[in-house]
Structure 1
Amino acid sequence: MSDHVQCATCGVERARPLPEVCPICADERQFVPRSGQRWTGPAEAAERGARLEFVDLEPGVVGVTQRDCPGIGQKPALIRTEHGNVMVEAPNFIDDAAVSAVRELGGISAIIASHPHMYGLQSVWSRAFGDCPVHVSAADEHWLGVRPTNTVVWEGRREEIEILPGVRASQPGGHFPGSAVVHWTAPDGRGVLFSGDTIGATADPRWVTFMRSFPVWIPLSGSVVQRIADHVERYEFDRLYGNFGSGIPDGAQDAVRRSAERYADWVGGRYDHLT
């Protein structure tokens, strides 16, 4: 693990020879800091005090908080099922303590990132758990900085995949062409949607939003947002978890529908008189 390299800004792993600039950060959806490109790795991050913290979000869902880690600070989620565990989004840090903590939670049977910004150290996490499969959308496969040994490339705009029984994924697109959501049926029988940056959870738990880029605030069109909302109608879900700690504790499906309509109205000019 100690010689693994990742971008200090986005936290995504990268194979040698290293490019002059991280391609993910050079893309318009992300950014290269004014201080310039810097590369790091788990060993250096550990010296700086990096660590992962695990907290129960609800029965069957463990949230992962990254403390002093490289990258943009996403908060992955571990879905625990009787058929195995699925890691949604990959942490940007790994050490023996983190691996041990996940082993006590039942390990990892599969990894899926919603989009390339969330790839983190997915190949290292996969290797730590027996080269468990890492699901990567075909549309975004070219963004891989390191190809995990057990990479599963999948299409999913019209179809969906079952990662494990009760855990499914599909690709509404939007933020990236292959941007994915993960749906899980919780022990209480209700659906839970892990939305990544495909559907952005806001500070107000009654609403969500949609963006091509959150860091530099590039919007999507109203038609794309409606397409995303229509896509997730295939699922029944009461709760929603974003990838940065915000979420909707109930009524999430209605919130997505209402938010898409509001978004389309604003970008379509319906409320221009208020501006």
Structure 2
Amino acid sequence: MSNLSDTMDFTRETYDPATASSWLICRTCSTHFPTSDRSSVTTCHICDDPRQYVPPTGQTFTTLAELRRTHRNEFTAYARDPRLTSIETTPRLAIGQRAILIRTPRGNVLWDCIALLDDDTVARIRGMGGLEAVVISHPHYYSTHVQWARAFGCPVYISAEDRAWATMASAHTIPLTDAETEIVPRSGVRAIKLGGHFPGSLVLLFDGRLMIADTLVTTPAGLGDWSVDSTGATRKGGRPPGLNTFTFQWSIPNMIPLRVDELARMWDVLSSYDFRATHGAFRGMDIEDEGIKGRVLESMQIQARFMGNETHPLMSVRMS
């Protein structure tokens, strides 16, 4: 595991919200392009990739200035652990993911990023102690991350493998090269490189809580409550067998699954860590379960089996 220095050495760039507010933002994925010239950016490289899409209505762009007139960010503290606060844009914008503000004694870390950055959001986060760092799971959520880093004077960490997807260079952007990195020394916040969805797709571990974005995609069956029946009585047998909790996709919107060898490689990485909860890409995708790690393995094996890999070595792996 690598440890970042107590004082990250980078040249802080000026936050210029007036200029950035006129730059183009893809309406489908919220990627931010450093130009206001609509004739120079007519397509989005993120949406042209098979892991994303252009909607039937075609490629369109907006700007931060436009979004600030029509949208706002909502902050929702997580009831089970008030150290976590979801930040999401309403009405839903682009992919609709949340960012999660993690409060630690060593400072706040923002997990993932959303496009809308306005004065109210900056003021509210500063009132909560500001940001020591931003960590982004994968390129679909890069959005306006350079503006967030400039606004809070902090580094933003992305995987070195995926940095080519970023639309602008910035001294604030720090590529992660190691399999595991502690974000903010002695904070207990660790970025873990799992790959899969993108070569450098990350998860973030904090005090037994695994922020998974859609590196692991939380399923409806994973969120289901089988503890009681329709009368309110305790359900006999509990959770039915054979239900997955997660799915593992190379392309989520286009439903292209990861191959079984990649699942096995991801498990080899994740099996070294202990966690009791997962927090997915959207608010409400939170699972509290001491056995959640076993459900990750079970979900991988369910996917492998239905892809015709009954004899793959992954199928014989058991929780220790």
Moved over 4 A (4+): none
> Is 1:226 paired with 2:226?
no
Give the Cα separation in 1 of the matches to 2:287 and 2:295. Answer: 8
- Whether contact under 8 Å (1:54, 1:64) holds in the other structure is yes
Cα deviations across residues 60-92 of structure 1 (Å, max 9, x unaligned)?
111112112532100111111010111111011
SS in 2 for 1:229: helix
- Cα distance, 1:269 vs. partner? 5.1
TM superposition score normalised by structure 1:
0.90
What's the secondary structure of 2:96's corresponding residue? Answer: coil
State whether residues 260 and 309 of structure 2, in contact with CA within 8 Å, keep that contact through their aligned partners in structure 1. no
Q: Does 1:170 align with 2:192?
A: yes
One of 253, 257, 260 as aligned partner of 2:300: 260
C-alpha contact 2:202 2:215 (8 A) present in aligned 1 = yes
Partner SS for 2:150: helix
Partner SS state of residue 32, structure 2: coil
Aligned residues: 262
Are 1:248 and 2:270 an aligned pair? no
**Other-structure match for 1:43:** 65
Q: Which amino acid aligns with 1:195?
A: I
SS in structure 1 at match of 2:282: coil
Q: How far has the Cα of 1:262 moved from its partner?
A: 1.3
SS in 1 for 2:249: coil
SS in 2 for 1:86: strand
Q: Report the counterpart of residue 169 of structure 2 in structure 1.
A: 147
**Amino acid in structure 1 at the alignment position of 2:86:** G
Q: What residue number does 2:82 align with?
A: 59
SS of corresponding position for 2:195: coil
In 2, Cα distance between equivalents of 1:255 and 1:155 = 29
Q: Please tell me the residue identity of whatever aligns with 1:44.
A: E
Cα separation, 2, equivalents of 1:69 and 1:122:
18
User: Could you tell me which of 242, 246, 258 is aligned with 1:208?
Assistant: 246
Q: CA deviation at 1:254?
A: 1.5
The alpha-carbon deviation at position 5 of structure 1 amounts to 2.3
What are the Cα deviations for residues 207-245 of structure 1, in whole angstroms up to 9, with x where unaligned? 111101111111111121122122112211000001122
Higher deviation after alignment, 228-237 or 208-217 = 228-237
Quick check: 1:45–1:69 contact (8 Å CA) kept in 2?
Answer: no
Amino acid at match of 1:6: I
Gap regions ≥5 residues in structure 1: 186-190, 271-275
The one-letter amino acid of 1:160's match is: E
Contact 2:160 2:200 in 1 (8 A): yes
Q: Cα distance, 1:154 vs. partner?
A: 1.4
The residue number in structure 2 matching 1:192 is 209
- For residues 82-129 of structure 1, the C-alpha deviation after alignment (integer angstroms, 9 at most, x for no partner) is 101111110110111111111122111111110000112111111110
2:144 corresponds to? 121
Task: Indicate yes or no: 2:181 matched with 1:161.
Answer: yes
After superposition, the C-alpha distances for 1:4-38 in whole angstroms (9 at most, x for unaligned) are 32111101111236432100000001001222221
Q: TM-score, normalised by structure 2?
A: 0.78
Q: What is the root-mean-square deviation in Å for CA atoms of aligned residues?
A: 1.7
Deviation, structure 1 residue 168: 0.6
Q: Percent identity?
A: 37
Equivalent residue for 1:273? Answer: none
Q: For 1:177 and 1:162, how far apart are their aligned partners in 2?
A: 20
